[in-house]
Structure 1
């Protein structure tokens, strides 16, 4: 019996040992599979998988990204998201029989995904390969994938059609294919996936086709996200069967027909986005059951009829119906909504009066009913809760006065009330709100004065009050508003003299004072108006001489001084201006017309000055010929001329021998081209190109800071020579051709160029604060606050928009980055370094266009496979600059993690933020807090503005060029005074 028990004990021990040996063997087998797949199919440039060592303790369960079943230590999950691996799809991982979840998102995987390789993974429950560089056609999945619940292949470059096998996953809950290049239409068989909760196919260039009519079969669906999917036809009635749906986004397609009545079946829906389609007919009156709906956007369609009471009565936070053909009155019930914060009804045919209590019961922030036929008084309670920021009511027939209560609405930042029938005096405090940035009251019947209290509006950029009955003197307090860019007070009754301090407004770009009763002279100290492009002082009573200093304004293109009492001669300095509009007619000017204005097409601009004369411009009288001088006088002058000429030649020879910046040649051997008025010559510059003045070197040359004898400081760029001569010549010609004809306040000014046999030099205006990159990343020891950063964003966008849209032919910068945005003494931006800029030439010039693609971290993703650079490439790079302004980080900051750049880092954070319409503003601020430069002290308003800039940046850095806005649209988006809807 004793021996029997001992034998049994040995048997148990043996079995335990064999079991342990079997388990150890299994562990070694899983580890070997992982290592083999890693070594054969993946690269780990960042070394984050360095702990994948088979001999390590508890291998492979303690390896990076590996999760094991705690009961038997079998590998069940591999999560290598965002570790920077590259290579092909590691199908070998799927040889582990217990593997259930495989996540390889946000890496650099490339190549194709074949049906053969994917077939090894049939036991998976989750497969996530999103945000990689996989391409080719989608693989066909076998019938064995019965357990797959999540399939995420978004943000790759898959093309072709969606295979039939994608409609056969019996338990699939998430299908995400957005952001690829799928080109066939959306197939009907995808609606067989009846367990789906997320259906995301947005941003694919699908073949135009309808939303599947059987979409209603997906009754468990919570998110239907199909913007930019080339959908057409009607929205099917079966849409109403999606009783679990929370987000319906069919925006930016070509859907037509009516919004179906069955939409009332979406009882769980929080957000409905139907904007930018071709929907017609009336809005259905079946919204009563949508009690969870917070956001409804059907703007930019062809909808007709009235605003249904069933929709107006919902507790919506946001109602956007702009750009339709809706009509009728606004239901009174809308004013009882306590949740309403955003109401956009602009560009419709609504009429009648607005509900008197609109705004009284809600925290209304954005109100835009412009472009309608509203009449009667303005609702007095729009700002009852002191939340209103944007008041936009232009192009209606509102009458009466601005309610006195609006004078207490100190939250206003953006006001547009023009083209109405309003009258009376504007409340005095309405002019002075501290956050007011834009006010437009033109073409009404307002009267009274602009009060001195306008000095309180420190953020004001635009003052537009033309076409009213304002009178009195224009207050000198306006001169304290240093952010002013546009002043238009034309066609009023202002009197008195022009405040001389107007010349202190250094950011001013347009000053229009025409058709008033101003007297006195034109201010002469205008050197601060370096950004002024338009000056219109016509139809006043201005007297005195035309200041010669006007000829020094560097970007002035529009000058109208007609119909005044100006006297004296026409300053010859005005001929230096590059004017598109010039008019000095109907004054009291006299003397000879300067040669630069002796042009027939300018005759109408000179008429009405009886004492003007010209030698050859009819019908102006001829100028009297000078009386002949005596022979004696001629002789003296000739002798003096010879003596002077000899002295100059002697001085030139001596001076040339002393200068050896580029060799010892005694004879001048260079040519110069001057683009701006300068007070120095090339010798002053060339003599200073020494190592002590060197401030930087780039891909195309060295940059020097040169302080001239006159006191002026310039930046001098000497392009590389020697072996790079041909390349530098192409760069030089490109810069000169591009910059020599540009006049814009946000483009760095090229003063002149100088070219010799072995050197090429460009001389620019000097920017005191260096580059945005230097300042933003701390190298200058200066911290930019948010208002300055936002001003830089807008200014730089305006400069790039000018290059893209106002230059003929259009100009692509090709190297947009923070180091190529320079800042003057007041941190105003100038887009710089056109060594890489090229005009968009014909196909034959493609060789010049393809030499340089930009700088690391700023290059658009499509360049990797197209090798083409377009305006949309600049837009992408500018989006990265916007992200730099928000985060304060470099595009490839180490804090993003291995092999991750700024765009990926921010995009991930943005995708993790709450859906629009959730109402969770606190969570939204938490997400922003992770991204925003912590060195800035911010207000609530700053957060809202930063969110807007962040959303613009995400639009600009879209993976697909077609989805990026133009630079002109970027400027508009940045200037809009309300946050944008966050890009999905």
Structure 2
């Protein structure tokens, strides 16, 4: 036989490529772009990045919609190299997260500006350098831009001001220089970012003044962090117009001149840092800033003055630091009786006279530092268990002052997570014992809090609360986490609180790549929300190099087959061709099966009232057989409730997890639309005060939604006494706060924002600790980009709770939910349904109110179960807030974010911790009526509230 002809071999190879292209699920342009990224990160990409089908072959960190790549999420993967400009080929990319890869270097390619669908660009803790590309201003869909903890230089691009949807802007801890850009006739600026909530620019080298134009009353900012830069000039008075602000850090700059007198307009600010500047004039008057927790104005050149009166009236104050601020006179005894005070640092001033701490001091007081003043006497009525430092005062020359007060001791900040009632075990090399005493290799990193509102760093309960919040976040996102551990507590030079975090895997000794990617994304994307008193944070994850790898599909055998076939000569061509045909046939069949299995909506029929195919984000698909089994064939014993949509069943999955399954009636067209709406919306939202959607079933003609099981039923049942749970004033405040937080999340943090449209007591569920969860999203409406301010839509909702402005104009806004929540608040204090025997609760309360009398003269209509005869602290302010929520004009109502703040303030004034768990168990709230207990998901046949355009009555 002669030499093998070359042309047939080439044709065969071409034929193979065509067959693979037919079988592949990934768009060819996207594959080429990903291959370019892989080449730039040679030897450091995940081992699953093989083959020509990233969407079909399960490349780690690659998420696709149909054939297009929509997300790349690769935190803590140890990537090295640069970011290729070929990324512009991923034209449908919506999210890019390469955080915690210190090996990623070089400049960012300007081609990123071509990714017009990009909404998340998160590159935290890498080593990128060079200029931030001006082309970023073309990313009109961008909501998250996190470039902190890199090595970027140069100016902040003014074009960022074009990003009208931007919510989060974090450029901190780089080497940025130049001034803060604001708009003019020819260029945009950051003042145009009226929807942004976060300006994080700390630890750079920014210079020039803070432009007065930067701030306005139209802005939505809650964090302004400019600490540790080179900013000069005065603090602009326009800062006082941004009344949504909660944290302000302008410390460690070169700011001068007096502090604006309108700064006390910022009544929502809890942390204010102005220290280490050149500020002059009088000590600022912060009267009215009732939510202030931490104040630091140290090392400025204020006018000499006595201790300001606002020191003594700041009931929320935990930390007061006024070192070297020209204070004089006697330290008032009343200062130390502020109820939440933890730390007072007034060293290097001109304070004098006798120091009297008194006996009614705060229970939380830990440190009083009065070094280098002129205090000449000290009155002690009882032994102090706090740290008092009087070094450098004349009183320390007296012999009657205890020696311990006249020396400075070193404070060791030690905290380490305790074992969970077990004994640590000895582990092999590379593994350590977890809090649950299991050997494992944890995922680790550093948690950094930029403005904690507490200063008692030795209080371990705070860190235990942080651990619980972390575990709750991981569990909510169904991540394989067994436990977390915190250690290595330290406060750095700019008062950032740092903690070492270790996250331990569940069920095995190591995480797989999927686990690390998901945990890293929860931290980099700010999905995790720490307890509020920890303030703004970021996480710097370490490289994880101990993966538990499962079996991986490899295409190497295919490549080898091609090589052998090409070398074998023409005698094998026919055989290879036959194999190729068989291969293509089975690949096509496999792809069709995968499509059917992975797309439960392949048979979704828009002609039957179900609408277009839902766009899902993470909801699990259950087969009918699985749900039929876990409900004992949908037996009557499993039934929890029923309504116009269908029935709700209790089920137990094979894992032992309890679920609530909402099963639509056969042929329910309205149910089909609601089914789609709830899947689309709830698959996007994750919050402890919003009921979690675990999955769905669209199989064998069934439409079912699978939720977490919420054991204590609806708020309506608890208020009516049907559930047997006693709802006193404290519980009602906490339920109000939980509901408000859930709604605030939907309005302000969900993407896109969501209007619930049916807030009522029957749609608020209570878990085992009586925490509130917002449920039933069948009537909810997302706010699209083109729908600015309102959505014109058919009126739906429940009469009595419905916003009259929405009813009259058909224009739905977030303020419509605020109105419904206001009605719910009145229902909570009166125990009455909104419409009862022709009487409307809003009108009844408004008519009965008399603000000159005790409890606003509402004794006759208050619910007796609320605790009449006891002190109902904060009830008047609660009613005031409810009446603001039910103002006729939506513009006169507060936002849900403002409502959350006000309820938190009411709880604090009532002596309650708004962040505390509701109860150890619901059993502690069961009343005497336990014998009459009805299951919380029972039939609502007696409901006469008048549901408008919807007959659903079950809580889910």
TM above 0.5, yes or no, is: no
| TM-score of the superposed pair, with normalisation by structure 2 | 0.42
Higher Rg: 1
How high is the TM-score relative to the length of structure 1? 0.41
